[in-house]
A and B are shown apart, each in its own frame.
Chain A
Amino acid sequence: MTDQCAVTFVAEVEPERLAALRTVLATMAEDPAGNAVVPFGRLDGVHFGRLLVLEATPDLTGKGIPALLVMMDDVDGSADRHVRQLAEVEGLDQVLSACRGYPRAPNTAARLAFLQAGLQPSAATYINTVGRSLDQVRAEIGLRHALETMLDEHRAEWAALPARRIRELVRDRVGADPALAWALHPMPAQPLGWRARRLADLVAVPAAGVVLSPVIALGAPVYAALLRWHERTDKAPLLRPDHAHVAELAATEDRFAHNQFSAIGLLKAGRFRRWTTMGALFVLDWAMRHFFARGSLAKVDTIHFARWTFFDDKRRVLFASNYDGSLESYMDDFIDKVAWGLNLVFSNGQGYPETAWLLCRGAKDERAFKGYLRTRQVPTQVWYSAYPELTAVNIANNAAIRAGLSGHLDEAGATAWLARL
């Protein structure tokens, strides 16, 4: 099985090249999979890819943050593998040449060095199902289509048979078809070494907590008092996005089964909020690796990939996700199902609705929360999805269809398996 990783590349844009860069991005957006600049569909193992420009903006002290180019890909394998392949893509020069310090006559080595220098680690990453590669997703899409067609064709003759018998007939046909026979074998389990490393990671955080428990016990009351003081004194204005901003964002939304969301915001001033964000993202990242790696983030089963990344010396945090359905349904899920998780991280950002004890209230204020998200959301100029017609639930169902082709199933099991088709 292949692990997935979130690759984030950031570079400063030369102000005089910004307009030209936007033109290049607009060309890419017409065909994200096959464009001549960065053809995401021809790269290996890219589930999602995006490019966006963050406008120059002042920070809380009035100091300028320059315009930035951001590329964010969710890929199979390591970041290093992906970046090395990107470095081979000559078309990338059309984008990177707008960035400060990019060589005038780049070659693969120069491209690679520039990309590596701009990589930003994610403070927290969410992967809907760890280990499910793009090749697997694509193969199982084809498998499901083949099985649905098979059932349509044979419905009249098979409908009166027991489910187990139908499953046997399906298995016979799959086994006899060289293009499908692979599906009779289940996905191999993760190797022992992988599972051991994962277990060690799972245990490490609580173990560190035990070791540090005296410090935590002493520090907790102080932290709690500071937290409440900040929560009571932080400004929580009711933000309203303007109609033009919403129109620009909506123009690219709701074309596929899923959407992208990119948002960036300044952290509130001071070390307290910065350290709280770092701690929150550390714990969230660990929890997502171990408890939310099999199809849902808490109770939300519509997110494919998400990441939180610090920007500009931890003055800003960027959040990016690929989610099913509309932004309205996504925001409603946030409010109804994981308000605590959003509060934990985003309440450290400027303008977030007032929270209590870091986890409560906050996102529960629908109007303030939706206004905050839309205000912090930024346009994504280029977005690529490798499977635009599928939700995360569809992909999981496809995997279950394939899994149900192997092994023993009794009549009830075979009936449940057929219900997936």
Chain B
Amino acid sequence: MTPAASPGRAAAGTGSGSELERADIQGLLAAGYGHLPRARYVLLGITAADRARRWLGTTAEVLTTAASGRSTWAANLALTASGLARLGLSDAALGQFPDELITGMTTPHRSRILGDVDDAAPGHWRWGGPATAAVDAIVLLYGEDDDALDEVGRRVLGDVEASGLDVVHTLETAELSDREHFGFRDGISQPVVDGLRRASAGPVADDGSPTVAAGEFVLGYRNGYGRLTGRPLVAAADDAASLLPADVEGSGGHDLGRNGSYLVFRQLHQDVAAFRAYVAAASAAPDGRPDPGAARLLAARMVGRWPSGAPLVQTPDADDPRLGDVNDFAYHDDDEAGLRCPLGAHVRRANPRDMLGPDAGSATAVELADRHRLLRRGRGYGPPLPDDDAAEEPGVERGLHFICCNANIARQFEFVSHTWLGNPRFAGLYDDRDPLVGVSTAEGTTTFTEQARPLRRRHVDVPRFVTVRGGAYTFLPGIRALRYLASLGPEEAQP
């Protein structure tokens, strides 16, 4: 199990832009590691900063980068705000990170906009909440099989205690599958990142969709507005060894953010039995007899795609596996009114494409929607719930470790969660939240409307199927930024 990939070597160039410095970019931004079906996420606390910094310095040279060749394993590392502080990053530098990272995912305001209330409130979380141990770092490990996964775990984590670390929580994943637990193909629509595509990139779809500016996902490059997203800079004096590249905008500071990203992690529990039971009951014939065909249709309408992935806007009446990979479609011309794919369906909310005004149906509408894209890198956990009649076994957890990368958490992840998925007034509706992931009202239900002519059908009692169990906003630094953080000592941390 010798790692085949060479350690990431940072590119020397600090030019303004278009050529991505692959060797400085963590590999997760370039690929979801589809060839590595096993994965494990290890949540770490830092107990001794000096030893943790030494560990970080070693680890930085082992991590997979966007320049690494294909290997039997992969490893990446993200840090929370508390982790950055414990490593000794100065308050001045920390203060330059965006508000989302610094104040974190669990403020009362964030709980409102993310829908983390009632059972999903941070107080109930298994990790990342106010009642659980602080998560300072997340190590993301991937292997081609269990042996490779264990091997990379030993290689990266080694003797945890001797490294000044403490394992707060370990999140196992299910064998990689393209089906999520409700039974639908997931991860079909991914933004194609300008400059990050390559033949070996794996799951980056090659469907002809227009690319999205690299700066939407990788800090230090031009974003959808043709500008650079805000980045944490450190004073040149605080980086005497010039481990970091100079700020390309010419401020004279050194760029701690360049080639980094923000990784959002949410553990989403899925209540599969409740989903199946609801869909069966809501689609039953007037005399109460189950109608499996109607149940499949209702479930597909809530999702917006059939189990194969085929979009309802192209095949509204029955699944067509030949269309399972289709991602080159729009809504406005084919289905402005939501008659094929309901306006409030999950995929319409998660990526409205060209459907939102004032210029719906135009390239402008797509361009505006593309300012809110997410690079999804999550994996499922827990065993699948086999047949349609099965009840949830007590104590068995299943769901999705939702992971996404973006350069601006407020404009991307939070906007998608709040303005699209969780918004009852999305697309002119009144009381409809995302029927799969959007329920967060005190009543615990939402309305889901199937548009139809002449009369729509309202389901006013859709319960919560997905509950957040933990989460964190993290910084996915570039390799040079990790080396810089590893070099911080007590003397550098103080003015």
Contact = CB atoms under 8 A, between A and B. Distances in A.
Given A325-B419, A419-B453, A335 B225 contact: yes
A159 B455 contact: yes
Contact of A367 (B227, B358, B458): B227
Interface in A384-402: 390-391, 393-394, 397
B176 to A, nearest CB: 33
B429 to A, nearest CB: 9
Interface in B426-484: 428, 430, 451-458, 460
Contact of B458 (A148, A166, A329): A148
A168 interface: no
Contacts of B198: none
A299 interface: yes
B322 interface: no
A69 B106 CA distance: 33
B494 interface: no
B430 A394 contact: yes
Contacts of B453: 163, 415, 418-419
Contacts of A163: 453-454
B412 to A, nearest CB: 10
B392 to A, nearest CB: 31
Interface stretch (B7-15, B95-103, B133-141): B95-103
B371 interface: yes
A364 B225 contact: yes
B419 A329 contact: yes
Given A243-B102, A394-B425, A158 B455 contact: yes
Contacts of B419: 325-326, 328-329
Chain A, interface residues (CB within 8 Å), range: 35 or more
A332 B411 contact: yes
Interface stretch (A25-33, A47-55, A253-261, A273-281): A253-261
A290 to B, nearest CB: 19
A242 B457 CA distance: 47
Given A247-B103, A250-B109, A301-B357, A366 B227 contact: yes
Contacts of B202: none
Contacts of A415: 453-454
Contacts of B230: 240, 367
Contacts of B423: 325
Contact of A296 (B112, B229, B358): B358
A367 B229 contact: yes
B358 A299 contact: yes
B480 to A, nearest CB: 23
Interface string A328-367: 1100100111000000000000000000000000001111
Given A328-B410, A366-B227, A419-B451, A151 B456 contact: yes
B112 A243 contact: no
Interface string B207-229: 00000000000000001010111
The winner among B95, B357, B430 for most chain A CB atoms within 10 A is B430
A253 B419 CA distance: 13
A337 B454 CA distance: 34
A254 B113 contact: yes
A378 to B, nearest CB: 17
A324 B425 contact: yes
Interface string B104-122: 0001110011000000000
A418 B451 CA distance: 10
A329 B109 contact: no
B418 interface: yes
Contacts of A314: none
Nearest to B94: A243
B357 to A, nearest CB: 7
Contacts of A336: 368, 371
Contacts of B457: 155
A156 interface: yes
Given A328-B414, A329-B415, A391 B425 contact: yes
B337 interface: yes
B105 to A, nearest CB: 13
B411 A255 contact: no
B92 to A, nearest CB: 12
B395 interface: no
B394 interface: no
Given A148-B458, A329-B415, A419-B451, A254 B112 contact: yes
A390 B429 CA distance: 10
A391 B99 CA distance: 27
A414 to B, nearest CB: 8
Interface in B321-353: 337
A312 interface: no
A166 B452 CA distance: 14
A345 to B, nearest CB: 21
A365 B227 contact: yes
A148 B429 CA distance: 13
A246 interface: yes
Contacts of A159: 452, 454-455
A421 B337 CA distance: 12
A148 to B, nearest CB: 7
B90 to A, nearest CB: 15
B386 interface: no
A397 B428 CA distance: 8
Given A159-B454, A367-B230, A254 B418 contact: yes
26 contacts: A148-B458, A152-B458, A155-B457, A158-B454, A159-B454, A159-B455, A162-B454, A166-B455, A243-B102, A243-B103, A246-B99, A250-B109, A254-B113, A257-B424, A257-B425, A299-B357, A325-B419, A326-B418, A328-B419, A332-B371, A367-B227, A393-B425, A393-B428, A394-B430, A414-B454, A418-B454
Interface of B: 95-96, 99, 102-103, 107-109, 112-113, 223, 225, 227-230, 286, 337, 357-359, 368, 371, 410-411, 414-415, 418-419, 423-425, 428, 430, 451-458, 460
Interface of A: 148, 151-152, 155-156, 158-159, 161-163, 166, 240, 242-243, 246-247, 250-251, 253-255, 257, 296, 299, 301, 324-326, 328-329, 332, 335-337, 364-367, 390-391, 393-394, 397, 414-415, 418-419, 421
Given A159-B452, A326-B418, A332-B415, 4 more contacts: A159-B454, A243-B95, A336-B371, A418-B455
Closest 3 CB pairs of A and B: A299-B358, A163-B454, A250-B109
